[in-house]
Chains A and B, each alone.
Chain A
Protein backbone atom coordinates (compact mmCIF):
# COMPACT_ATOMS: atom_id res chain seq x y z
CA UNK A 1 0.00 0.00 0.00
CA UNK A 2 1.22 3.50 -0.76
CA UNK A 3 0.34 4.80 2.67
CA UNK A 4 -1.61 7.96 3.37
CA UNK A 5 -1.31 10.39 0.48
CA UNK A 6 -1.60 14.14 0.90
CA UNK A 7 -1.58 16.91 -1.65
CA UNK A 8 -0.22 19.40 -2.18
CA UNK A 9 2.99 18.92 -0.19
CA UNK A 10 3.60 22.65 -0.10
CA UNK A 11 1.19 25.54 -0.51
CA UNK A 12 1.95 29.24 -0.48
CA UNK A 13 -1.00 31.58 -0.72
CA UNK A 14 -2.02 35.09 0.10
CA UNK A 15 -4.26 36.11 2.94
CA UNK A 16 -7.92 35.89 2.00
CA UNK A 17 -7.52 33.13 -0.55
CA UNK A 18 -9.21 29.76 -0.30
CA UNK A 19 -6.99 26.79 0.45
CA UNK A 20 -7.95 23.16 -0.07
CA UNK A 21 -5.88 20.32 1.31
CA UNK A 22 -6.47 16.77 0.15
CA UNK A 23 -6.01 13.36 1.68
CA UNK A 24 -6.32 9.78 0.51
CA UNK A 25 -6.33 7.35 3.45
CA UNK A 26 -5.01 3.82 3.43
CA UNK A 27 -7.47 1.49 1.74
CA UNK A 28 -9.65 -0.32 4.26
CA UNK A 29 -9.13 2.17 7.06
CA UNK A 30 -12.38 3.48 8.50
CA UNK A 31 -11.04 6.36 10.59
CA UNK A 32 -9.52 9.53 9.19
CA UNK A 33 -7.95 12.35 11.19
CA UNK A 34 -6.83 15.87 10.36
CA UNK A 35 -4.10 17.41 12.53
CA UNK A 36 -2.30 20.74 12.55
CA UNK A 37 1.27 21.11 13.79
CA UNK A 38 2.90 24.37 14.82
CA UNK A 39 5.90 25.20 16.97
CA UNK A 40 3.75 27.07 19.45
CA UNK A 41 0.89 24.59 19.88
CA UNK A 42 2.41 21.26 18.89
CA UNK A 43 0.14 18.67 17.26
CA UNK A 44 -3.56 19.51 17.43
CA UNK A 45 -6.42 17.28 16.35
CA UNK A 46 -8.80 19.29 14.19
CA UNK A 47 -11.43 16.74 13.23
CA UNK A 48 -11.87 13.04 12.72
CA UNK A 49 -14.24 10.87 10.69
CA UNK A 50 -15.51 7.35 11.12
CA UNK A 51 -16.95 5.66 8.04
CA UNK A 52 -17.00 9.04 6.29
CA UNK A 53 -19.05 10.67 9.06
CA UNK A 54 -17.54 13.51 11.14
CA UNK A 55 -17.40 12.38 14.76
CA UNK A 56 -15.62 15.18 16.57
CA UNK A 57 -14.87 18.57 15.09
CA UNK A 58 -14.25 20.34 18.37
CA UNK A 59 -10.68 21.07 17.35
CA UNK A 60 -11.62 23.05 14.27
CA UNK A 61 -10.46 26.55 15.15
CA UNK A 62 -13.30 28.52 13.61
CA UNK A 63 -15.88 28.66 10.86
CA UNK A 64 -13.24 29.42 8.28
CA UNK A 65 -12.23 25.77 8.51
CA UNK A 66 -14.34 22.98 7.04
CA UNK A 67 -13.69 19.32 6.29
CA UNK A 68 -15.49 16.77 4.19
CA UNK A 69 -15.18 13.10 3.44
CA UNK A 70 -17.41 12.34 0.44
CA UNK A 71 -16.22 8.72 0.24
CA UNK A 72 -13.93 6.24 1.94
CA UNK A 73 -10.93 7.16 -0.17
CA UNK A 74 -10.92 10.93 -0.11
CA UNK A 75 -11.11 13.84 2.31
CA UNK A 76 -10.58 17.58 2.07
CA UNK A 77 -9.78 20.29 4.56
CA UNK A 78 -10.71 23.75 3.37
CA UNK A 79 -9.75 27.13 4.78
CA UNK A 80 -11.74 30.09 3.50
CA UNK A 81 -10.59 32.80 3.84
CA UNK A 82 -7.05 31.96 4.86
CA UNK A 83 -5.08 34.05 7.36
CA UNK A 84 -1.35 34.21 8.18
CA UNK A 85 -1.98 32.49 11.53
CA UNK A 86 -3.16 29.42 9.63
CA UNK A 87 0.42 28.80 8.51
CA UNK A 88 1.34 25.35 9.77
CA UNK A 89 1.91 21.78 8.69
CA UNK A 90 -1.35 19.91 8.23
CA UNK A 91 -1.31 16.13 8.61
CA UNK A 92 -3.86 13.56 7.64
CA UNK A 93 -3.83 10.16 9.35
CA UNK A 94 -5.93 7.02 9.06
CA UNK A 95 -6.51 3.91 11.13
CA UNK A 96 -8.70 0.83 11.19
CA UNK A 97 -11.05 -0.25 13.95
CA UNK A 98 -9.67 -3.71 14.55
CA UNK A 99 -8.17 -5.12 17.71
CA UNK A 100 -8.35 -2.04 19.85
CA UNK A 101 -5.68 0.59 20.38
CA UNK A 102 -5.50 1.24 16.68
CA UNK A 103 -2.32 2.64 15.23
CA UNK A 104 -2.62 5.83 13.24
CA UNK A 105 -0.73 6.10 9.98
CA UNK A 106 0.27 9.61 9.05
CA UNK A 107 0.72 11.18 5.67
CA UNK A 108 3.75 13.33 4.83
CA UNK A 109 1.88 16.53 5.58
CA UNK A 110 1.08 19.73 3.72
CA UNK A 111 3.20 22.71 4.65
CA UNK A 112 0.99 25.79 4.34
CA UNK A 113 2.29 29.33 4.29
CA UNK A 114 -0.21 32.18 4.20
CA UNK A 115 1.36 35.52 3.38
Chain B
Protein backbone atom coordinates (compact mmCIF):
# COMPACT_ATOMS: atom_id res chain seq x y z
CA UNK B 1 0.00 0.00 0.00
CA UNK B 2 1.12 3.54 -0.65
CA UNK B 3 0.74 6.47 1.72
CA UNK B 4 1.68 10.09 2.22
CA UNK B 5 2.19 12.01 5.45
CA UNK B 6 2.08 15.75 5.79
CA UNK B 7 3.01 16.25 9.42
CA UNK B 8 2.01 19.91 9.70
CA UNK B 9 -1.60 21.03 9.53
CA UNK B 10 -0.47 24.61 9.09
CA UNK B 11 2.75 26.46 8.31
CA UNK B 12 3.12 30.16 9.02
CA UNK B 13 5.89 32.17 7.40
CA UNK B 14 6.63 35.86 7.03
CA UNK B 15 6.54 37.35 3.56
CA UNK B 16 9.99 37.29 1.99
CA UNK B 17 11.22 34.43 4.15
CA UNK B 18 11.92 30.96 2.78
CA UNK B 19 9.20 28.38 3.22
CA UNK B 20 9.17 24.61 3.54
CA UNK B 21 6.16 22.32 3.51
CA UNK B 22 7.02 18.79 4.56
CA UNK B 23 6.00 15.50 3.00
CA UNK B 24 7.07 11.92 3.55
CA UNK B 25 5.86 8.94 1.59
CA UNK B 26 5.70 5.17 1.52
CA UNK B 27 5.49 2.99 -1.59
CA UNK B 28 6.58 -0.53 -2.36
CA UNK B 29 8.43 0.38 -5.55
CA UNK B 30 9.83 3.55 -7.04
CA UNK B 31 7.71 6.62 -6.35
CA UNK B 32 6.13 9.19 -8.56
CA UNK B 33 5.68 12.26 -6.35
CA UNK B 34 3.53 15.34 -6.85
CA UNK B 35 2.66 18.64 -5.24
CA UNK B 36 -0.65 20.35 -5.84
CA UNK B 37 -2.01 23.65 -4.55
CA UNK B 38 -5.61 24.54 -3.79
CA UNK B 39 -6.82 28.11 -3.47
CA UNK B 40 -10.13 28.80 -1.71
CA UNK B 41 -13.17 27.54 -3.59
CA UNK B 42 -11.02 26.15 -6.40
CA UNK B 43 -9.89 22.75 -7.61
CA UNK B 44 -6.37 21.46 -7.12
CA UNK B 45 -3.68 22.81 -9.42
CA UNK B 46 -0.52 20.93 -10.33
CA UNK B 47 2.73 22.51 -9.08
CA UNK B 48 5.47 19.99 -9.82
CA UNK B 49 6.34 16.32 -9.96
CA UNK B 50 9.25 13.95 -9.55
CA UNK B 51 9.45 10.95 -11.85
CA UNK B 52 13.14 10.26 -12.20
CA UNK B 53 16.43 12.10 -12.64
CA UNK B 54 17.52 15.15 -10.66
CA UNK B 55 16.46 15.11 -7.05
CA UNK B 56 15.68 18.82 -7.16
CA UNK B 57 12.54 19.51 -9.14
CA UNK B 58 11.48 22.99 -10.17
CA UNK B 59 7.86 23.86 -10.71
CA UNK B 60 5.37 26.66 -11.11
CA UNK B 61 5.40 30.00 -9.26
CA UNK B 62 9.00 29.60 -8.09
CA UNK B 63 8.37 26.44 -6.08
CA UNK B 64 10.77 23.54 -5.97
CA UNK B 65 10.91 20.22 -4.18
CA UNK B 66 13.72 17.93 -3.20
CA UNK B 67 13.40 14.18 -3.47
CA UNK B 68 15.31 12.34 -0.77
CA UNK B 69 15.14 8.61 -1.22
CA UNK B 70 16.92 7.67 2.01
CA UNK B 71 14.55 9.80 4.07
CA UNK B 72 11.53 9.03 1.85
CA UNK B 73 10.77 12.72 1.75
CA UNK B 74 9.66 15.21 -0.87
CA UNK B 75 9.56 18.60 0.83
CA UNK B 76 8.21 21.63 -1.00
CA UNK B 77 10.29 24.80 -0.84
CA UNK B 78 10.38 28.37 -2.02
CA UNK B 79 13.21 30.83 -1.37
CA UNK B 80 11.00 33.87 -0.76
CA UNK B 81 7.33 33.54 0.21
CA UNK B 82 4.60 35.79 -1.16
CA UNK B 83 1.28 36.58 0.48
CA UNK B 84 -0.36 35.16 -2.64
CA UNK B 85 1.23 31.78 -1.87
CA UNK B 86 -1.21 31.36 1.02
CA UNK B 87 -3.23 28.26 0.15
CA UNK B 88 -3.67 24.57 0.89
CA UNK B 89 -0.86 22.33 -0.37
CA UNK B 90 -1.19 18.64 -1.10
CA UNK B 91 1.56 16.09 -1.53
CA UNK B 92 0.70 12.98 -3.52
CA UNK B 93 2.38 9.71 -4.44
CA UNK B 94 1.88 6.70 -6.61
CA UNK B 95 3.96 3.64 -7.24
CA UNK B 96 5.64 3.82 -10.64
CA UNK B 97 4.66 0.22 -11.26
CA UNK B 98 1.04 0.69 -10.45
CA UNK B 99 -1.98 2.09 -12.21
CA UNK B 100 -3.02 5.69 -12.15
CA UNK B 101 -4.29 5.62 -8.59
CA UNK B 102 -2.62 8.44 -6.69
CA UNK B 103 -2.75 8.82 -2.92
CA UNK B 104 -3.02 12.37 -1.61
CA UNK B 105 -1.93 13.68 1.76
CA UNK B 106 -4.35 15.46 4.01
CA UNK B 107 -2.98 18.86 3.05
CA UNK B 108 -0.99 21.62 4.75
CA UNK B 109 -2.35 25.11 5.03
CA UNK B 110 0.30 27.70 4.26
CA UNK B 111 -0.22 31.15 5.70
CA UNK B 112 2.15 33.87 4.54
CA UNK B 113 2.07 36.84 6.87
CA UNK B 114 2.63 40.31 5.39
Q: B11-19, B20-28, B75-83, B95-103: which one contacts chain A?
A: B95-103
Q: Is the CB of A104 within 8 A of B96?
A: no
Q: Of A97, A100, A105, A109, which is within 8 A of B96 by CB?
A: A100
A56 at the interface (CB under 8 A from B): yes
| A26: min CB distance to chain B, Å | 12
Chain A interface helix/strand/loop/mixed: strand
| B21: min CB distance to chain A, Å | 15
Q: Is the CB of A107 within 8 A of B43?
A: yes
List residues of A whose CB falls within 8 A of some B CB. Answer: 4, 31, 33, 42-43, 45, 48, 50, 55-56, 91, 93, 95, 97, 100-109
User: Can you pick out 27 interface pairs between chain A and chain B where the beta carbons lie within 8 Å of each other?
Assistant: A4-B43, A42-B104, A42-B105, A42-B107, A43-B107, A45-B101, A45-B103, A48-B100, A48-B101, A50-B99, A50-B100, A55-B99, A91-B43, A91-B44, A93-B44, A97-B100, A100-B51, A100-B96, A101-B34, A101-B50, A101-B96, A102-B100, A103-B34, A104-B46, A104-B102, A108-B43, A109-B42
